[in-house]
Structure 1
């Protein structure tokens, strides 16, 4: 791996906590990239794992010496502290985020690099993680789209493992809020969207957590109540910074409550269906 003629260098940041079942697939999806020469390093932050995550990464590193793989071990401090440490250690001028239970499609970086090479004003770029079309106010996003803060309030996108952004953004606005465990990605992304050119391409280029839904299933996203609380905190912070009007703020409070109730009902219905299937 090394820099190319356009001086685009990616540092891939992978936080990992007890990821022994998925970390190999995540790493392999990076080394399989068609535009792998744009990657200058792969940084894994082992966030105090108590399983075999560390040894699996070390073995992968030994088996793939042609890649610049860096492993940092730290006490458990949460995913935000892990991402912050990884980005601080990064030497690339672009950051690519990847969670340890997600995988990139082989052409993920290739597709995104072609977009930023053809659109010099892009500071941040994400893509889709499902086959579902992202819609804002009922309007589908079916081409390269420059998002606004209001857009992200209505629909938080993209998913973390799809995101790439210039490292200078992190240097200027700071990193993730390490006191937060829920919706910290949304909080960070909203700060970026306020001040930089925040773009989205509607193509699915990753496999998210084995293809599962993004709420009410597993991990941190399984706690719908705390996800709702985190989203409300993000909204409140936006209003405090006067990034949104009071009328829009009040409208979103109602909208978030309706969305919260909908998610609870969806999860209950699926749980009841599962229990019914077990009884058959």
Structure 2
């Protein structure tokens, strides 16, 4: 059952009470564009917090160069040893002062009305979290429309189950209450893939239908070049770890349990087979087919003991140095 939260005051202000979270790793080629898209917002956030995750290029220098070009938005930057995007986002969440968090990856770009429309939709719907549609930008520069909203229209009353099975929420589209992110413990920094998917699940399990993906495409999302084979296996390992945790959550929610758990396991392996097939690695594709029934049996065996417990990852922050405290 969704929790009850106090209403939020959305009184008009010059700068919205929003902190933008931006992880960065070797992002020198794109981070100026990403930060400029924040500065160009029709409604501006209070602050942007960038965490450089052990870059070996001049990402930090590019951030410093933007310090005087943020149109009055406070810009802060931290540097830490390479610990992954989840740990970088957690560092920014811990340092954030805004009531709301918005996320933008260093290779993505917001359209100018993104923050204004996210705040309006969240206010009008009395939401605690929102996201929206986007444009995918391929490595060759071509763009295509990504209708991630369509998946949630099937059952808008239960976005958790939609996401659990095969939903999609791009991090760079999200606006969410900071206190909720803190309450669930932040991003699982132990996951090297899908940390954002797992956090959105944890949040939707708490807030129920007070979430919406709205139709306007207000993000240019950069698609990575074709990944190497080992990344498919890493995604499978992380997806299975998330399933093991969240089948404990789905037990506590109204509705079926065994069917969604088995279906999610099948989807994970189907996507892995397709990923290996696309790369011509038939041996690994066959291996995933053979492993699938064994892992489904494993999930059924684990199900009675799954608790859905989630550690507080915000207490496990790696050391970091603040390299740019600045109000532009």
TM-score by shorter chain over 0.5: yes
Shift of 1:91: 0.6
Corresponding residue number in structure 2 for 1:45: 51
Question: Against the structure 1 CA distance between its residues 146 and 128, is the aligned structure 2 distance closer, same or farther, given a 3 Å change threshold?
Answer: farther
Give the structure-2-normalised TM-score: 0.71
Aligned with 2:79: secondary structure? strand
Report matched runs for 1:233-252 at 5 Å: 233-241=241-249, 242-243=251-252, 245-252=257-264
Shift of 1:240: 2.7
Residues 1:255 and 2:232 are matched in the alignment: no
Corresponding residue number in structure 1 for 2:226: 217
Unaligned 5+ runs, structure 2: 1-8, 136-144, 282-328
Shift of 1:217: 2.4
Report matched runs for 1:65-104 at 5 Å: 66-104=72-110
Question: Against the structure 1 CA distance between its residues 199 and 147, is the aligned structure 2 distance closer, same or farther, given a 3 Å change threshold?
Answer: farther
Q: Distance in 2 between matches of 1:188 and 1:141?
A: 17
Unaligned 5+ runs, structure 1: 270-280
Contact in 2 for aligned 1:147/1:199 (Cα 8 Å)? no
Question: Against the structure 1 CA distance between its residues 132 and 76, is the aligned structure 2 distance closer, same or farther, given a 3 Å change threshold?
Answer: closer
Shift of 1:85: 0.8
Q: Distance in 2 between matches of 1:5 and 1:142?
A: 30
Shift of 1:235: 1.4
Shift of 1:140: 5.5
Question: Against the structure 1 CA distance between its residues 69 and 230, is the aligned structure 2 distance closer, same or farther, given a 3 Å change threshold?
Answer: same
Shift of 1:65: 6.6
Which of 38, 42, 57 is 1:34 aligned to? 42
Question: Against the structure 1 CA distance between its residues 143 and 112, is the aligned structure 2 distance closer, same or farther, given a 3 Å change threshold?
Answer: farther
Aligned length: 256
Question: Against the structure 1 CA distance between its residues 163 and 106, is the aligned structure 2 distance closer, same or farther, given a 3 Å change threshold?
Answer: same
Corresponding residue number in structure 2 for 1:11: 19
Q: Distance in 2 between matches of 1:236 and 1:223?
A: 20
Shift of 1:113: 1.3
Residues 1:157 and 2:163 are matched in the alignment: no
Deviates more, 1:13-22 or 1:228-237: 228-237
Corresponding residue number in structure 1 for 2:186: 175
Aligned with 1:42: secondary structure? strand
Residues 1:129 and 2:141 are matched in the alignment: no
- C-alpha RMSD of the superposition: 2.7
Which of 201, 212, 220 is 2:214 aligned to? 201
Give the structure-1-normalised TM-score: 0.82
